[in-house]
Amino acid sequence: MNGHFSAVGDKSAGGSYDHGVQVIDEDKEFNGNLNDYLQNTHVAESGFNYHLISVFGSQSTGKSTLLNNLFGTEFSVMSETERRQTTKGIWMSKNKREESAGAKMADNILVMDVEGTDGRERGEDQDFERKSALFALATSEVLIVNIWEHQVGLYQGANMGLLKTVFEVNLQIFLKDKQSTPRSLLFFVIRDHLGTTPLSNLRTTLIQDLTKIWSTISKPHGLEDSRIEDYFDFGFAALPHKILQAEKFVSEVQKLGTRFTAGHRGNKGGDDQLEGGLFLPEYHRRIPADGFSVYAEGIWDQIVNNKDLDLPTQQELLAQFRCDEISREVLVAFDLVVAPLEEQQGEATKLGKILVLPDLGGVGSAARAKLLGAFEVQASRYHQGVYARKRQELEAKVDARLKALYMGQLAAAHKAGVAAFSDAVTSKVKAGQKAGGGYEFAEIVANEKQKTLGIFKTEAQGLAIQDLPWTNFKPQYSLFEAELDEVSGKLRKEEMRRLATRVERWVKSRLGEAIGLEFNKLGSGRGGTGAPETGDKPGEKDLWDRVWGVFTGIVKEAESRFADRAKSFDASDEEAEVGMWRLRRKSWVGLREKIDEEVMEGNILLKLRENFEDKFRYDEAGVPRIWRPSDDIEGIYTKARESTLTLIPLLSRFRLSTTYAPPDLVSFVGGQPTGVEAGDEEDLAPIGGVDEDEGKSLEEEMTVLSESKRQDLVVRFKKTADGVYVEAKRSAIGGVAQ
């Protein structure tokens, strides 16, 4: 797969991680498989609960052997017969032991075996030594320095060169990262310890050497007076000769193994500054295990390119990278739940269907909580500032989607609610009408509104998420309520129309009877002749006064019925005004139709004839006349005919006898109320004199018979009267002849 990673133990080549993983190869390339290895060994999921150790020392001083014995690792060891370098670059392996000498070791110890660093194999290549020291310092909690006993005190020894390098690069890192540079433990493991010199003496010698080295390195400005103890803790251990004292070697290594546990700073100042285990919390680099590979790669990249190592920046970059990665991961689960809902909603919208998704609030908030919870668990281990920002970004992203979904949901609930409300009211009204009209419109509307609002409220509250202001859907609720009121208004208007139609019908039928009765009175001329030139009998002279009186009486009654009913369904005064205004107009038109019907040629001629016959055939006392030849038939005829003829001009104009003027129709109808809306007037016939711009005057409106019809009526009536007269004449002669 990758030519660089051909060494044994690389999974890409060998298919397993038995020998660990090569982090940096001999060409100084970083191995991208590191994360795979950490996943494979379940270290990746351990958060901060892992430890990193690096081992340093000259070539072939038994470093790999030590690690393999301590941790059960399988780093390559130089065979006893051929002496050449085996460890190339930097290898890493997880501790394979759970316990040592019966004591439990720390979880997830990662060990890095660093290529022999005395430069012997690489000639004068001090470069790699420096780079790997930098890499180890930036990542490891404990640096094991492996050293022969006989090297101790040899200040010029190769190991001392290495330590100088370590100190220098540490200062370099410290310059960039003043706040958080953690301390490291330099843990000296003295090999082939003969036992003649006690460890404490060796320790003293080593510390003297270290102090000497420290004094020789050039320190950056401001750090001239710094002491080595400001940056490092020291630990010491000695092991017997592996081959000469094989058994003791094994048991001492076991003992040493017990020290790889959590520890704390001691205060009794023994051999080491540590009590308990070697792993002090302050040594930890605080890189979450799942981000270690990315972090290590970034560090190595900077080192290889000879850039100043800036750990805080690296940690921020790592945090950004990992937070983005974690965001993507947690969004997958979120998508699994939310994307199908978004799709369904989008589809419904496209098709114009109303879709209210069941339990959307529950599903949405659970998905949101799960996502943020999962994000927090993993991402909060990273740089706090970056974490907070990325969390906000993620929240904004998720909330934008939920918001769109929730708004769509409420829009659907709104539409569904309005339709259900309108349907329910309409069908209840219909049922009420079928059952005989005994229903209360206002009550139906109020009940249905309450019910519909309740459903909407439940939906809106179901979508609410605590502490999220955008999930307060009060404005949507208000909007919904406003629309229900608007729909109620429309339905009420329809109800008003139905009521108006009923009342108009009632007015028409009342007018039909009452006005017919008034006109019928014309047919009776009995009860005195009076002044022949005017119709002065009841039903004659004051015909229009009575018609007007009857008409206004009926309309008044109708208006009060209408107003009562309108009030019962909560119509506004304005709406009632409009309804009554319409009613008055329609009633007037109805009256005019009724009058036109009464004065239709045949009808009126018949009435005039009856009127005339009554006057002609009956005497003052109302007794029928038996014509005798001696009677003044002609005189009576003329008087009766003239009397009836006076009715024709009276009939021609709607005029009140008291004022000789038309009734005050304008006041009666009243001005157009302010509440009139488009459509309210559409079905209204214009009324002369009332609707000024109609071009018809009140005089014309009040004209019942046109001039020509009037003349025509006179001629016809005279003919009819003449006929009656001739008949009377004949009967008088006939009566004599009998």
Q: Which residues bind ligand GDP (CB under 6 A)?
A: 59-65, 77-78, 80, 86-87, 116, 191-192, 241-243
Cβ(220)–Cβ(175) below 8 Å: yes
Look at residue 575 and give the partner it binds from Mg ion, ligand GDP, none, a contact being a CB closer than 5 to 8 Å depending on partner kind: none
Rounded to a whole number of angstroms, the minimum distance from the CB of residue 76 to ligand GDP is 7
What, of Mg ion, ligand GDP, none, does residue 502 touch, CB below 5 to 8 Å by kind? none
Closest by CA position to 171, among listed 131, 125, 209, 228:
228
Decide if 17 contacts 40 (C-beta within 8 A).
yes
CB of 340 to Mg ion, least distance (A): 55
Min dist CB 160 to ligand GDP, Å, is 17
In angstroms, give the least distance from the CB of 78 to ligand GDP.
Answer: 4
- Shortest Cβ 169–ligand GDP spacing (Å): 21
User: Least Å distance between CB 135 and ligand GDP?
Assistant: 18
Q: Which of residues 481-540 bind Mg ion (CB under 5 A)?
A: none
Indicate which of Mg ion, ligand GDP, none lies near residue 304 (CB less than 5 to 8 Å, by partner kind): none
Of all residues in this chain, which one has the CB nearest to ligand GDP in the complex?
Answer: 62
Q: Give the Cα separation of 159 and 146 in Å (integer).
A: 9
Asked if 147 contacts 61 with a C-beta cutoff of 8 angstroms, the reply is yes
Sign of dihedral through CA atoms 233, 238, 242, 246?
negative
**Beta-bridge mates of residue 24:** 30, 90
Cβ nearer to ligand GDP, comparing 61 with 345: 61
Contacts of 611 (CB under 8 A, 6+ apart): 522, 523, 524, 525, 540, 644, 647
Q: Taken in order 378, 383, 388, 390, is the CA torsion positive or negative? A: negative
Nearer of residues 66 and 515 to Mg ion, judged by Cβ: 66
Q: Which of Mg ion, ligand GDP, none does 409 bind, CB closer than 5 to 8 A by kind?
A: none
User: Smallest distance, Å, CB 208 to ligand GDP?
Assistant: 25
8 A C-beta contact, residue 700 and residue 595: no
Least gap, CB of 87 to Mg ion (angstroms): 4
Task: Kindly indicate which of the ranges 81-89, 425-433, 615-623, 642-650 contains the residues binding Mg ion, using the contact rule CB under 5 A.
Answer: 81-89
The kind and range of the H/E element at 519 are: helix 474-520
The candidate with the shortest Cα–Cα distance to 489, out of 622, 216, 677, 232, is 677
197 close to 95: Cβ distance less than 8 angstroms: no
Q: Which of 58, 87, 132, 315 binds Mg ion (CB under 5 A)?
A: 87
Size of residue set near Mg ion by CB under 5 A? 3
Two tokens at 121? 């194999």
Whole-number Å distance between alpha carbons of 187 and 143: 6
Helix, coil or strand: residue 74: coil
**Cβ proximity to Mg ion, 115 vs 233, nearer residue:** 115
Select the binding partner of residue 173 from ligand GDP, Mg ion, none (C-beta < 5 to 8 A, by kind): none
d(CA 653, CA 699): 8
What DSSP character marks residue 348? H
State residue 9 phi and psi, 5-degree precision. 95, -15
Q: Which does 62 bind (CB under 5 to 8 A by kind): ligand GDP, Mg ion, none?
A: ligand GDP
- The interface partner of residue 59, options being Mg ion, ligand GDP, none and the CB cut-off 5 to 8 Å by kind, is ligand GDP
**Piece of the chain touching Mg ion by CB under 5 A; list 84-92, 247-255, 283-291, 557-565:** 84-92
CA 463 to chain centroid: 8
Q: Which is nearer to ligand GDP, 189 or 309 (CB)?
A: 189
Least separation in angstroms between CB 102 and Mg ion: 28
Q: Are 654 and 702 in contact (CB under 8 A)?
A: yes
CB of 59 to ligand GDP, least distance (A): 5
Residue 639 touches which of ligand GDP, Mg ion, none (CB < 5 to 8 A by kind)? none
Q: DSSP assignment, residue 151?
A: G
State which residue, 242 or 322, has the beta carbon closest to ligand GDP: 242
- The DSSP output letter for 6 is -
Select 56 or 260, whichever has its Cβ closest to ligand GDP.
Answer: 56
Instruction: Report the b/e string of 522-532 with b at 16+ CB within 10 A.
Output: bebbbbebeeb
Burial class (CB in 10 A: 0-12, 13-18, 19+), 337: middle
- Looking at the Cβ atoms of 41 and 86, the one nearer to ligand GDP is 86
With beta carbons less than 8 A apart as the criterion, state whether 552 and 570 touch: no
Q: Is 117 an interacting residue with respect to Mg ion (CB under 5 A)? A: no
Q: Which is nearer to ligand GDP, 242 or 390 (CB)?
A: 242
* Least Cβ distance, residue 119 to Mg ion (angstroms): 15
Nearer to ligand GDP, 65 or 452 (CB): 65
| 381 touches, from Mg ion, ligand GDP, none (C-beta below 5 to 8 Å by class) | none
Q: In whole angstroms, how close is the CB of 315 to Mg ion at the nearest point?
A: 31
Exposure letters 463-483 (e unless 16+ CB within 10 A, then b): bebeeeeebebeebbeebbee
> Of the two residues 62 and 688, which places its CB atom closer to ligand GDP in the complex?
62
Among ligand GDP, Mg ion, none, partner that 129 touches (CB below 5 to 8 angstroms by kind) = none
Q: Which is nearer to ligand GDP, 115 or 297 (CB)?
A: 115
Q: Which is nearer to ligand GDP, 191 or 368 (CB)?
A: 191
108 binds, among ligand GDP, Mg ion, none (CB under 5 to 8 A by kind): none
Nearer to ligand GDP, 128 or 406 (CB): 128
Q: Are 73 and 160 in contact (CB under 8 A)?
A: no
Cα angle 550, 499, 583 (rounded to 5 degrees) comes to 40
Segment 394-423, which members bind Mg ion (CB under 5 A)? none
Residue whose C-alpha is closest to residue 614's, from 648, 634, 643: 643
Whichever of 100 and 365 has its CB closer to ligand GDP, that residue is: 100
Q: Which does 242 bind (CB under 5 to 8 A by kind): ligand GDP, Mg ion, none?
A: ligand GDP
Shortest Å distance, C-beta 288 to ligand GDP:
30
Work out how close the CB of 113 gets to ligand GDP at its nearest, in angstroms, rounded to a whole number: 7
- Cα 267-152-202 angle, rounded to 5 deg: 35
In whole angstroms, how close is the CB of 73 to ligand GDP at the nearest point? 11
Q: Which is nearer to Mg ion, 64 or 652 (CB)?
A: 64
Half-sphere exposure in the Cβ direction for 518 (13 Å, CA): 23
Closest approach of ligand GDP to the CB of residue 191, in Å: 5
192 binds, among Mg ion, ligand GDP, none (CB under 5 to 8 A by kind): ligand GDP
**Ordered DSSP codes for 20-49:** -EEEE-TT-PBPTTHHHHHHHTT-GGGTT-
By the 10 Å C-beta count (0-12 exposed, 13-18 middle, 19+ buried), 64 is classed as buried
Q: Residue 63 or residue 655: which is nearer to Mg ion going by CB?
A: 63
Give the rounded distance of the alpha carbon of 9 from its chain centre.
54
Question: Between residue 39 and residue 78, which ones bind Mg ion under the rule CB under 5 A?
Answer: 63-64
Q: Which two tokens stand for residue 305?
A: 């390119």
Q: Tokens at residue 661, please?
A: 């003027």
Kindly state the tokens that stand for 556: 């008044």
Binding footprint of Mg ion on the chain (CB under 5 A): 63-64, 87
